[in-house]
Amino acid sequence: MTIYYILLGAIALVSWLVSRKLKSKFNYYSKVHLRNGMSGAEIAEKMLSDHGIRDVKVVSTAGMLTDHYNPKTKTVNLSEGVYNQRNAAAAAVAAHECGHAVQHAQAYEWLSIRSKLVPVVSVTSGMSTWVVFGGLILAASTEGAGGQLGFYIAVAGLIMMGFATLFSFITLPVEYDASNRALAWLKRKNIVSQEEYKGSEDSLKWAARTYVVAAIGSLASLVYWGFQVFGGRD
């Protein structure tokens, strides 16, 4: 248990450092103003148009770094620090979110798989740890059929947890591909200068690392609870 808490603490620390670095990079590149004067919203609309996507709207959403693409409503949601801003960070984020819209329009395989997992993960992720824990308690406190039932409950919790871990790893190619699409378009269409491009690239690189850390954390938790469930069995 001690090793688990140490590992969990280390992952939490790395996650905090990466998130802090991302915010620092975003703030820094927010000061690199675009020579073309385009806002994040204008860049998003142009990228969608260039890819022949006419049924996706670009809207503003509250908060910082709350940007996302919603495939159900077909909206590119840009945060307040991106929608109206005209800098390298805003260009990177706006183009990245449009990268997801392009993935959706082109039926990108990994995005399709992730979308199918969303309903399952949204239900199971919040309760998986409690199901595993409850099953272990039942298995340890009872014998015979009750203990066996507790084991099966714990295994069911592990399966729930496994879906969340699978989702976090499937998210990686989705996010990296969206960034690659964004950067390729920004360069191909000369939306950004060489200096602005470096800022956009660096911003997206750190954004992607937050997903890597989350995936590692999810896997570490799954492995730990897997040992707790199966380690005590003959």
pLDDT of residue 149: 93
Confidence of residue 32 (pLDDT cuts 50, 70, 90): confident
Task: Give the residue among 44, 78, 45, 43 at the shortest CA–CA distance from 64.
Answer: 78
Q: Residue 162 pLDDT > 90, yes or no?
A: yes
Could you tell me if 48 and 76 are in contact, meaning their C-beta atoms sit under 8 angstroms apart? yes
* pLDDT for the residue 206: 92
What are the residues whose beta carbons fall under 8 Å from the beta carbon of 233, sequence distance 6 or more? Answer: 151
Catalytic status, residue 143: no
pLDDT at 156 over 80: yes
Residue type, 92: A
Least confident of 7-21, 66-80, 117-131, 153-167: 7-21
Q: Which long-range contacts (CB under 8 A, 24 or more apart) does 65-72 make?
A: 65/22, 65/23, 65/26, 65/93, 67/93, 67/94, 67/96, 67/97, 68/97, 68/100, 69/97, 69/98, 69/100, 69/101, 69/104, 71/100, 71/104, 71/111, 71/115
Residue among 42, 45, 97, 201 flagged as catalytic = 97
Phi, then psi, of 87 in degrees rounded to 5: -145, 175
Backbone angles phi, psi at 70, to 5 degrees: -105, 105
Distance CA 43, CA 190 (A): 12
Most confident of 26-40, 60-74, 98-112, 219-233: 98-112
What are the pLDDT digits (tens) for 183-205?
A: 999 999 999 999 999 999 999 99
Residues 6+ apart with CB under 8 A from 159: none
83-112 per-position pLDDT tens digit? 999 999 999 999 999 999 999 999 999 999
Mean pLDDT (the chain, rounded):
91
What are the residue ranges spanned by the domains of the chain?
Answer: 2-230
Structure tokens that stand for 163 in this block: 């879906």
Whether pLDDT at 233 is above 60:
no
Q: Is the pLDDT of residue 132 over 90?
A: yes
pLDDT for 232? 58
> What is the residue whose two structure tokens read 């991106």?
82
What pLDDT, on a 0 to 100 scale, did the predictor assign at position 180?
97
Quick one: pLDDT at residue 1?
Answer: 60
